[in-house]
A and B are shown apart, each in its own frame.
Chain A
Amino acid sequence: MVSDTFADDIIAFLPNLRRFAISLCRSPDTADDLVQITVERAFAARHQFDPDTRLEAWLFRILRNAWIDMTRRTKTRGTQIDIEDAPDASTVDGTKVTETALMLKSAKAAIETLPEAQRDVMMLICVEEMSYKEAAEVLDTPVGTVMSRLARARLAVAKKLGINTDTARSSGSQGDS
């Protein structure tokens, strides 16, 4: 039987799918294509969905696999932003931005420029708030590997942002202001 909520659940989750897609391909247009492929695959394979698992994790998995397929096909695509082109806090032109906004912009760029494997775990766990186990399933990777990648990702991001063990606490409390 067709479950009535399947389509509604997917629609409700589209913003998250799109966000994860943007982190993968770093081009909103390509991300939208990727989301479209994902929903089409989800409907084509909906009988394979195990209702005892979370739809979100299943959809992320489809999306990531679609991305792998896409990159396999178009090795020479020109949509990826080079690391050097990523927005940098120091080059925001003349606009007055608060320190927090700058920090968040740098943080986004810092995550985007992580090695792919680290970036994916960080997006799924820190941004999309999946459990380690769910992320492991999405990425088809052992939980132990997910954890070591996630730890390395966060240490790297902390370093890029100047959060270190000495300043972590004070920067945390400043964040409230």
Chain B
Amino acid sequence: MQKPEFTDEELMAYADGELAEERASALDLALAESVDLADRLALFVDTKMVAKDAWEPVLQEPVPEYLVQRVRDLAAADEGTHEAAGDTVVAFPQNARPEAATPIWKLPLAAGLALAVGLGAGLMLSQDTGGGFGSIEIAALTDRQVIAALDTLPSGEDTQLENGARIAPIATFFDGAQTLCREFEFDRADGMTIVSVACQRNGAWDVQMAVAAAAATDTGYAPASSLDTLDAYLTANDAGPPLDLEAEAAALEALR
């Protein structure tokens, strides 16, 4: 007698309600005639039930209050930015800055920092000592493509450069001196990521700091202290919260 063939994946999809209708109807019929098939199906039904029950208690554990509070703070910070944007062209956010806004700056760095390259105005991100990373140079702010990206590209987007590198503005903010600054990531063609902050000075973007992050393939040393480099910079320069996209667009437009 010819038995209809059903793969494990089909039985599983049936158990999960994901099998295409026609095939599911065929399986309905076949199940009625085959205990073996029903047993094979039961395995998938059971494992789902058991998995769900086994992990249910974790769902019932109380969520730490600070996590809930963090979401509320972030939502409040968001609203604050929007209101500020509505008030004036670009409101100076210092006084309104929620205390909790600072940690947001840690975010773009989660990709892994490996080496603090240096601090200081006009730094061109070149390091020719024979360290493990070799020379770090992004020819930063003389490259017209980099400049164009900082001038126009909204935060959260990225663009590929002709030399294979990629630039991704992370956020735009005003520092304590009301200078417009942008934090961005620069992925070199060789995979190294550089996180940098550039600020407007005399109509040009001036690199204020840069931190090299480990490449995706790098399994190397990543001191937690390098996270502090950016934090220290932002704190020292009294960086305001990131502008929302509208305010950012207005601020960039004003540069022209």
> What B residues does A10 contact at CB under 8 A?
71
> What B residues does A70 contact at CB under 8 A?
110
Nearest residue (CB) in A for B103 is A40
- Whether A92 is near chain B, meaning CB under 8 Å from some CB there, is no
- Whether B29 is near chain A, meaning CB under 8 Å from some CB there, is no
With the chains together, A69 CA to B9 CA distance in Å? 31
Query: Are the CB atoms of A169 and B42 closer together than 8 Å?
Result: yes
- Whether B54 is near chain A, meaning CB under 8 Å from some CB there, is yes
Interface size class of A (residues with CB under 8 A): 35 or more
| Segment with Cβ contacts to A, from B56-64, B132-140, B144-152 | B56-64
With the chains together, A34 CA to B227 CA distance in Å? 16
Distance (whole angstroms) from the CB of B139 to the closest CB of chain A: 27
Count of residues in B whose CB is under 8 Å from the partner chain: 59
**Contact among B53, B72, B112 for A107, CB-based, below 8 A:** B53
> What A residues does B68 contact at CB under 8 A?
11, 14
With the chains together, A111 CA to B79 CA distance in Å? 41
| Segment with Cβ contacts to B, from A50-58, A78-86, A153-161 | A153-161
Enumerate A48-68 residues with CB–CB distance to B below 8 Å: 48, 66
Query: Are the CB atoms of A122 and B51 closer together than 8 Å?
Result: yes
Nearest residue (CB) in B for A6 is B75
Enumerate B71-88 residues with CB–CB distance to A below 8 Å: 71-72, 74-75, 77-79, 82
> What A residues does B49 contact at CB under 8 A?
172, 175
- Whether B39 is near chain A, meaning CB under 8 Å from some CB there, is yes
- Whether B165 is near chain A, meaning CB under 8 Å from some CB there, is no
Q: Which of B66, B71, B222 has the most CB of A within 10 A?
A: B71
A-B residue pair count with CB separations less than 8 angstroms: 165
Query: Are the CB atoms of B112 and A72 closer together than 8 Å?
Result: yes
Known: A2-B78, A172-B46. A157 touches B18 (CB 8 A): no
With the chains together, A9 CA to B51 CA distance in Å? 25
Nearest residue (CB) in A for B7 is A151
**Chain A 10-36 against B: per-residue CB contact (8 Å), 1 yes, 0 no?**
110011101100110000000010011
Query: Are the CB atoms of A163 and B47 closer together than 8 Å?
Result: yes
Query: Are the CB atoms of B242 and A126 closer together than 8 Å?
Result: no
> What B residues does A39 contact at CB under 8 A?
67, 70-71, 74
> What B residues does A44 contact at CB under 8 A?
104, 107-108, 156, 171, 242
Query: Are the CB atoms of A2 and B82 closer together than 8 Å?
Result: yes
With the chains together, A169 CA to B156 CA distance in Å? 51
With the chains together, A157 CA to B55 CA distance in Å? 14
Known: A19-B55, A44-B104. A151 touches B12 (CB 8 A): yes
> What B residues does A96 contact at CB under 8 A?
none
A-B contact pairs, 20 of them (CB 8 A): A14-B67, A18-B58, A18-B63, A19-B58, A22-B58, A43-B75, A43-B104, A69-B110, A72-B112, A72-B216, A73-B112, A107-B50, A108-B55, A111-B55, A126-B52, A151-B9, A158-B47, A166-B39, A169-B38, A172-B46
Q: A44-B104, A107-B54, A125-B16 are in contact. List 7 more A-B contacts (CB 8 A).
A: A7-B74, A11-B68, A69-B112, A72-B112, A73-B111, A73-B112, A123-B55
